[in-house]
Amino acid sequence: MRLILLLITSFLFTACSMDQMLVRSSVPLIESGVEALNHETDLDLAEDSIPANLNMLQGMIKIDPENALLHTYAAQAFYGLAYGFNEDNRPERASDFYQRGLRHGLVALEINGASDLKNKPIADFEKQVNRLGKGDVAAMFWAASNWAKWIDMHRDDPEAIAQLTRATALMQRVIEIDDSFYYGGAHMYFGVYYGSRAPMLGGNFDKSRQHFDRAREITDSKLLIPDLLQAQYLARQQQDRDDFHQRLTNIIKAPDDLMPELGLQNQIAKRKAALLLEKESEWF
C-alpha cells in the first residue's frame, strides 16, 4: 500500500512538473504574441484577439501560479484591455480590469519577495520597494500603472486617493532603476502626476513638462501617447486651449507607420485624441 501511494504521489508530482515545464517553455510564444499585437493597427482586430489570449494566459497561471512573469504579463494585458478599449465607453468594466491587473502585478512582486504591499504600513511598504531590483521593474511598472488608473477613475473616493502614494513609490523606483523602461512609461506617469493638479495641490507644471519631454526623447517623438497625455492633463490644467488643440490635431494627422513596433498604441492615441477634441469647447 505504501508503495502504491508513493507511486501515485510520484506520478502526480511528475505530471504537475511536466505541465509547469510546458507552460514555462511557452513563454517565448507569449512574448512573440505581445510583439505581434503591438504591431497591429486595426483596433477592432486587436480588441477581438486580446480576450482569448488573456484567457489562455490565465489558464497557464492556474497551472503555474508561482510564475511571476506570467502574472506580470497578465497585469500588462488587463491594463491594455482597460485603457485601450474600455475606459472611454465602459468605465466600470475598465475599473474592474485595472483592479485585476493590479492584483496580478502585486502577486508577481509578492512571489519575488515583496509581501502585502497594498496593506502594509507605509514605512514598511517603502522599505520593501527600496529592496526591489532590476528583475522587478516590469511587475512594479504594470502594478503601478493599473493602480494609478484605477485611482484616477475613483478620484472622488478618499480611500482610493490615499493609495496614490504607494503607486507613485513603485513608479519612482522604476525611474531609479531604468527610466527608459517601456518607452519611458514612468516619465509619462509623472508627467500626469505633476500636470493634472494645481500647484497648491501638489502639481508642478515644470516637472510635468520635463517628464513628458524625457518620454518623447526616449522614443524620438514617435510614440504619440506622451503628447496625448500632455494635452489631456497638463494643457487642460493650465487652460492652454491652443496647446491642447495643436497636440491632439497633430496626433490625428501623424503617419500610421510612425512607429511600427507600437502601431497599436499609436492608433489608440489617435482614437483617444479624437474623443478629447470633442470635449474641447466644454473644457475651455
The CATH number covering residue 117 comes to 1.25.40.920
Q: Residues 30, 32, 35, 40: is their CA dihedral positive or negative?
A: negative
Domain that holds residue 91: 32-175
Q: Among candidates 151, 134, 159, which has minimal Cα distance to 192? A: 151
Say yes or no: 63 and 91 in one domain. Answer: yes
Say yes or no: 50 and 119 in one domain. Answer: yes
Q: What domain count does the chain have?
A: 2
Say yes or no: 256 and 214 in one domain. Answer: yes
DSSP for 208-246 reads HHHHHHHHHHHTTT--SHHHHHIIIIIIHHTT-HHHHHH
Say yes or no: 159 and 184 in one domain. Answer: no
Say yes or no: 171 and 217 in one domain. Answer: no
Say yes or no: 154 and 205 in one domain. Answer: no
- What is the number of residues in the chain? 284
CA atoms within 13 Å, Cβ hemisphere of 183: 15
Task: pLDDT tens for the chain, 284 residues: list them.
Answer: 554 443 344 444 444 577 676 766 666 777 888 888 999 999 999 999 888 889 889 988 998 999 999 999 999 999 999 999 999 999 999 999 999 999 999 999 999 989 889 999 999 999 999 999 999 999 999 999 999 999 999 999 999 999 999 999 999 999 999 999 999 999 999 999 999 999 999 999 999 999 999 999 999 999 999 999 999 999 999 999 999 999 999 999 999 999 999 999 999 999 999 999 999 999 99
Residue ending a domain, among 144, 175, 206, is: 175
Q: Which residues contact 68 (CB under 8 A, 6 or more apart)?
A: 107, 108, 109, 111, 112, 139
Q: Is residue 19 part of a domain?
A: no
Spatial contact of 264 and 225, defined as CB atoms under 8 Å apart:
no
Say yes or no: 57 and 163 in one domain. Answer: yes
Spatial contact of 94 and 110, defined as CB atoms under 8 Å apart:
no
Residue ending a domain, among 159, 175, 191, is: 175
Say yes or no: 92 and 123 in one domain. Answer: yes
Q: Among candidates 55, 58, 145, which has minimal Cα distance to 94? A: 145
Say yes or no: 240 and 151 in one domain. Answer: no
Say yes or no: 103 and 163 in one domain. Answer: yes
Give pLDDT, residue 27: 67
Say yes or no: 196 and 264 in one domain. Answer: yes
Give pLDDT, residue 13: 46
Residue ending a domain, among 141, 175, 209, is: 175
Q: Is residue 188 part of a domain?
A: yes
∠ at Cα 148 (123, 103), nearest 5°? 75
Give pLDDT, residue 115: 87
Say yes or no: 132 and 218 in one domain. Answer: no
